[in-house]
Structure 1
Amino acid sequence: MPVPQGRGLVSRSLLREDAYRAIRDAIVDGTLAPGERLNDTDLVEWLGVSRTPVREALARLEQAGLVRTKPGRYTIVSPLDARACRDAQSVTAAMHELAVREALPNLSATELEAMRTANARFADALRRDDVDAALAADDEFHGVLVTASANDALRDVLERFTPVLRRLERLRFSSLSGRESVAQHDRIIELCAAGDVAGAAAATRANWETLTPLLDEPPVTGASSR
């Protein structure tokens, strides 16, 4: 769909990071569809900022694999490419496994309860077919361990590669197969509560690897949501 109508979505004091996140989120949630041309003027009007933060945001998005640019000709939203998703999945799964290994020795009862609460919200969102709420709850669930790991480098890597998977994840959470993640989350919590570092790390990696079947399906290259 076209860039949303309206002026000044955000403050004139918008930082480069905010411009990046706004465009990135519109790509991830399908507002800006795969193959859609991105015009600087439209984005400037939509966000209410100058061209500089928009162009810097598009450059970062190209590095992240969400945008493709042909200098002097066009900038488009990247198709959902299977290889890019496989690469992002491998890195993301490894980072979440590392987060478990670094967080678990000192994980508190409060953090375990936060994971249970997030998973309950996740299950409820799936029952209501609310994909956006499911994604937010899934982020919250895994985010407990990422935060507890206190590893800034790990967070930076996830910040780069997770958005590539988000469009694929939307397909998963809008399908019946996404319901399996609730039980997988419960198992991760159980292993964390038992202090089983190796088991919780393996279960977390397995949870992220459930996206693999979607990578082998023909619709992946052109899909905008999972």
Structure 2
Amino acid sequence: MARWDEAPVERPRMSDAAYERLKDAIVSGEFAPGEKIRDSEVAQRLGLSRTPVREALTRLADTGLVEAKPGVYTRITTLNRHDVAATLVVLRSLDELAVRTGVPHMTTDHIDRMRRANEDFAHAVDQHDITGAFAADDAFHGVAIDAAGNPVLRRVIDQLHPQVHRILYRKFSTLLGGHDTVDHHTKLTELCANGDADGAAGLSAEHWAHLGGLIDELFASDDLDESSA
């Protein structure tokens, strides 16, 4: 992953580009938890005016990656065990809903996309390509969201994903280094191909519960909770 300030941002959709650049930097740890951000400095380093940077920071606050106290500070949020657990519970329910409502509308094209995304994911895991793994995993689960045809569902899921990515990035080898997720994707794809909406939704929920357990172990054993930092 290139440094977030490596090159000036092109003018079209400047706030979107600034948001993506800053989000990736927070997820990858280039910005430390609790670190203060000054929009003027970020704007200068990205070659932008302060307005699109402020807009990007507002969106990052909505995702929970940034917290702000007007007139006092804007800073990177710390990792908090309770908040992460709450996010996972919501994501589990939303993903289960996406699968349950999306499967009846899936076509052979949807299934092909799931298989290709899983192949990309497996390759990224083998190469220890964290960014590629996130992109492929999002693409895989995005197929069910597309099939569900619910734009509100997609918007909320997209808003919550970065918080989970932030932890997975820090502990990629522990959580994504094996092939358990690849196997899960394979089984889920076959259930979707067979039109088993209930079975696919149940398997999806089980996987999120397993992921939540792994993350909980990290907080318990590796002092991942930074809320007191």
TM-score (ref. length: structure 2): 0.86
Distance 2:99 2:170 in 1: 26
Q: Please state how far the C-alpha of 1:30 moved relative to its aligned partner.
A: 2.1
Partner of 2:205: 205
Q: Please state how far the C-alpha of 1:11 moved relative to its aligned partner.
A: 2.2
Distance 1:65 1:4 in 2: 19
Write the letter of the residue equivalent to 1:217.
Answer: L
Q: Please state how far the C-alpha of 1:171 moved relative to its aligned partner.
A: 4.0
Percent identity of equivalent pairs: 38
Distance 1:106 1:34 in 2: 41
Partner of 2:32: 33
Distance 1:51 1:190 in 2: 48
**Deviations for 1:164-199, whole angstroms, at most 9, x for unmatched residues?**
111122245322664211111111012112211111
Contact 1:115-1:189 at 8 Å conserved across structures: yes
Distance 1:95 1:172 in 2: 24
Q: Does 1:221 align with 2:222?
A: no
Distance 1:215 1:55 in 2: 33
Distance 1:6 1:126 in 2: 26
Q: Please state how far the C-alpha of 1:158 moved relative to its aligned partner.
A: 0.7
Contact 2:118-2:140 at 8 Å conserved across structures: yes
Contact 1:28-1:167 at 8 Å conserved across structures: yes
**Which ranges in structure 1 are unaligned for 5 or more consecutive residues?**
none
Alignment of structure 1 residues 76-115 onto 2, 5 Å: 76-115=75-114
Q: Does 1:49 align with 2:81?
A: no
Partner SS, residue 69 of structure 1: strand
Partner of 2:144: 145
Question: CA, structure 1 residues 5+66, in 2 after alignment: closer, same or farther (shift >3 Å)?
Answer: closer
Partner SS, residue 67 of structure 2: strand
Q: Deviation above 4 Å: which 4+ runs of structure 1? A: 3-7
Contact 2:104-2:195 at 8 Å conserved across structures: yes
Distance 1:5 1:189 in 2: 38
Partner of 1:159: 158
Distance 1:72 1:152 in 2: 35
Contact 1:81-1:222 at 8 Å conserved across structures: yes
Question: CA, structure 1 residues 4+118, in 2 after alignment: closer, same or farther (shift >3 Å)?
Answer: closer
Q: Does 1:10 align with 2:4?
A: no
**Deviations for 1:51-87, whole angstroms, at most 9, x for unmatched residues?**
1221222222223211122333322111122222112
Question: CA, structure 1 residues 122+106, in 2 after alignment: closer, same or farther (shift >3 Å)?
Answer: same
Partner of 1:63: 62
Distance 2:41 2:6 in 1: 10
Q: Please state how far the C-alpha of 1:157 moved relative to its aligned partner.
A: 0.7
